[in-house]
Amino acid sequence: MNAPLASAPVLMNPDLAVADPACALWLAQVTLRLRREVAWCWHQRGTDAEALPGALPPAGDAVQDSLDLTRFRDEKRAFFDRDIAARYLGERLAALERPHLSPVRRGDWTWLASECPLTPAAQFVLACALAGRADASIGAVCAACQNDLSRPWPTLALAQRLWDEPLAIAACADAGHALFRHGLVQLPVGRDSLDWQQPLEMPALVAQALLDGQCLPSGMLRQSDMAPAELPQELLPLLARLRSDTPTAMQLLPLQAPRGTDFAAWAQALAQASGRALMILADDVTPDRPGLGALATVCWMRGADLLLPEHWQACCGAGVAEHWFAPLAALPLRWYLPVVDGGMAVRGVPASLLLPTCLLPPLDTSARAQRLARMLVDAPAAIRAALPEAARRFRLAERPLERAAAAASALGAAAGVHELFAVCRAEARLELDGLANLVNPRFALGELVLPPAQTQQLREIVSAMAVLGRVHDEWGTARVWNDAGLSVLFSGPPGTGKTMAAEALANALALPMYRIDLSQVVNKYIGETEKNLRRIFDAAETSDCLMFFDEADALFGKRTEVRDAHDRFANIEISYLLERMERFKGLAVLASNRRKDLDEAFTRRLRYIVEFPVPGVVERERLWRQAFPARVDIVEIDCRWLAQQFELAGGHIRSAAFNACLLAAGQRAEGAAQVGMLEVLTAVKRELEKMNRVAGREQFGRHAALIGSLA
């Protein structure tokens, strides 16, 4: 700072230090001009300033004061030349016109004046606003100079009165001026200009940045201190765009990735690679938060991009976005907006402000395994050995992967594979919003009663899922088959064991099973079914699971000839479903009673098709014996005769057995659990009637007398 400025009062309060020489120069301009104006006010209002040391001139008639501007114009100039105090202050002002300034740094006063750009008059207005925010002592002086004790703040009227070129100050009142466009001075909400008597309001955060460039707003904004990550090859074209397209207004860059992605790490990598810093907005900051514009201005002054919280995605829909981005659209700042897969698209933002969506690549199996290995280097040997399989089965993003590793490290020395998979599965939450129901598998493969061919197919499915990860990763099939899982069709008449077999597979593979609720998925409105399907598959991608589609022909039916918009969109839904089925990484089991109704293109994409026939006599006898719990005495029941006499599927046999237990319990209030032929035959008769099949006496053969009394 030059010698004259060093000895001049920068602000009314001498204890307020300003590090930036240019900022200090302009604050001194305000202080010196205010002091000189006070001297004139004493003279104009006919009071001896020396008789009242330390006091401000009394207020006079404001109307007369304005009318006297012309009359006293020449006298005021002469007063500044002859009055000792006014002449001294004028000499100090003249000395401030030729400062020796330090090199320009981004965010300091000289940089702002050049970047915006700001005329000397605009810089003086900015200095008035900063002085009003920084120095509490200046209010009374402003009120005295304006001859109005009700306005203890700097105004455009005061700036015009103090500045040598009054017309240049008038140009600073419009909303399009750089002072307002860049958020350096606030404009009242809904106004397109600043009134002469309104306060020159500078946001406190902006004033803090000008006075102390190293200070950050507490609690709302933090600077990213992450180590830069290496960007994958597919993001290099975007990086070239970011390097070459320096923001001249708002740039909104959507970062699309699965839930749980470390968006801060990706934004830091993109910002660092494009030569910029990154600031992170606190999660509790919402678009309607007061001071948002000031936060953005501080980021721009620091040359930093701004990462928004994930919940801001909901604020970028049509009809919503303009409420927050419109006041900030002119600020040359790059905003990173996290967009979670399957969420609302960015709409309502003008295309000129919106950069192409950046699709962040998810962690592949190798990257997940490496991260787990680094974080669990001290884990028990059983857990470390299972890490590659855990990385394959649970496709977690960065943050849930870190939480799963932290939980696994706290399991203790006795933990093994089961515990590791349990903590990973807890992080792989399937947010299906009522579109699917979690099923608790009740059956084992050994309980299924199927012909040998179908039993062997189920064993092959279990074996294939067990080695799927090794074949994809070690044999290299993941590149060709997109790391896909298995799609299986169970086809056969109702009650033949399709649902039971799906539960047995989930049990054998230790996979969570979800049954898709078709009543919630299929929607009569165009496009809604596809959205529901996308939500299901996106949620299920996080970990291996068994997705069970019952009555799949309702979803996977044949594509029809297009006669109207509904037919066209129905075909689009089927095509989308076929494509997602091929990419699904878990086990998808589809059950259908009408295989012939399924689209041929769909059946070609299935890995296995298992036909569930109506059981024969041998299978039916086994089903009758297994249908009753072990504690129930069925010694009186002729299971072989029942199997030979009634052609029932397994589902109907289990239903009849349950009803027989209910009948027997109602007749035997006390005593051991026992079911006889009468209860079984009665239940069979009712089951046949439900199926609209004839249940005459001749069908019951030698046992017809037992049911003779039944209606």
Residues 480, 526 within the same domain: yes
Residues 601, 633 within the same domain: no
pLDDT above 60: residue 3: no
Residues 203, 266 within the same domain: no
Give the integer Cα–Cα distance in Å for 334 and 331.
Answer: 9
Residues 41, 160 within the same domain: yes
The CATH number given to whatever domain includes residue 242 is 3.40.50
Q: Is 437 helix (H, G, I), strand (E, B) or coil?
A: strand
Q: Tell whether omega for the bond before 117 is within 30 degrees of 0, i.e. cis.
A: yes
Give the integer Cα–Cα distance in Å for 447 and 548.
Answer: 19
Angle, vertex CA 140, rays to CA 136 and CA 145, nearest 5 = 130
Residues 564, 663 within the same domain: no
Percent of the chain predicted with pLDDT > 90? 42
Residues 237/231, Cβ–Cβ less than 8 Å: no
pLDDT digits (tens, 9 = 90+) for 373-427: 999 998 999 999 999 989 988 989 999 999 999 999 998 888 888 899 999 988 8
Mean pLDDT, rounded, for 427-451: 84
Q: How confident is the model at residue 47 (pLDDT cuts 50, 70, 90)?
A: low
Instruction: List, in order, residues 6 or more apart from 461 with CB less than 8 Å away.
Output: 486, 488, 505, 587, 608
pLDDT above 70: residue 48: no
Task: Out of 74-78, 123-127, 256-260, pick the least confident.
Answer: 74-78
**End-to-end Cα, the chain, rounded Å:** 111
Mean pLDDT, rounded, for 331-339: 94
Give the integer Cα–Cα distance in Å for 385 and 380.
Answer: 9
pLDDT above 50: residue 256: yes
Task: Out of 46-50, 196-200, 292-296, 690-694, pick the least confident.
Answer: 46-50
Looking at per-residue confidence, does 670 or 688 come out higher? 688
Looking at per-residue confidence, does 180 or 536 come out higher? 180
Q: Is 598 helix (H, G, I), strand (E, B) or coil?
A: strand
pLDDT value at residue 568: 42
The CATH number given to whatever domain includes residue 551 is 3.40.50.300
Which tokens hold the place of 615? 């059981």
Residues 557, 442 within the same domain: yes
Residues 262, 388 within the same domain: no
Residues 564, 653 within the same domain: no
- Classify residue 433: in a domain, yes or no: no
Question: How many domains does the chain contain in total?
Answer: 5
The CATH number given to whatever domain includes residue 634 is 1.10.8.60
Residues 326, 309 within the same domain: yes
pLDDT above 60: residue 7: no
Sequence letter at residue 87: R
- Classify residue 427: in a domain, yes or no: no
Instruction: List, in order, residues 6 or more apart from 347 with CB less than 8 Å away.
Output: 316, 317, 318, 321
DSSP codes, 235-273? GHHHHHHHHH---SS-EEEEEEE-TT--HHHHHHHHHHH
- Classify residue 643: in a domain, yes or no: yes
Which residue, among 117, 120, 119, 146, has the nearest Cα to 132 in the 3D structure?
146
Percent of the chain predicted with pLDDT > 70? 84
Backbone angles phi, psi at 429, to 5 degrees: -70, 130
CA distances from 140 to 30, 127, 199, 201, 539 (A): 14, 17, 14, 16, 63
- Classify residue 215: in a domain, yes or no: no
Residues 409, 502 within the same domain: no
Mean pLDDT, rounded, for 627-640: 91
- Classify residue 471: in a domain, yes or no: yes
- Classify residue 370: in a domain, yes or no: yes
Which tokens hold the place of 287? 């678009």
pLDDT digits (tens, 9 = 90+) for 340-384: 875 566 777 788 889 999 999 988 888 999 999 999 998 999 999
Q: Where are the beta strands (DSSP E) in 557-701?
A: 587-592, 608-611
pLDDT value at residue 147: 84
Residues 572, 665 within the same domain: no
Which tokens hold the place of 402? 């870190």
Sequence letter at residue 580: R
- Classify residue 534: in a domain, yes or no: yes
Q: Which residues pair with 277 in a beta bridge?
A: 304
Across 109-123, 319-333, 683-697, the highest mean pLDDT is recorded for 109-123
Angle, vertex CA 396, rays to CA 394 and CA 402, nearest 5 = 115
Alpha carbon 225 to chain centroid, angstroms: 21
Instruction: List, in order, residues 6 or more apart from 229 with CB less than 8 Å away.
Output: 265, 266, 268, 269
Residues 534, 641 within the same domain: no
- Domain range for 322 is 221-230+237-359
What's the chain's average pLDDT? 84
- Classify residue 426: in a domain, yes or no: no
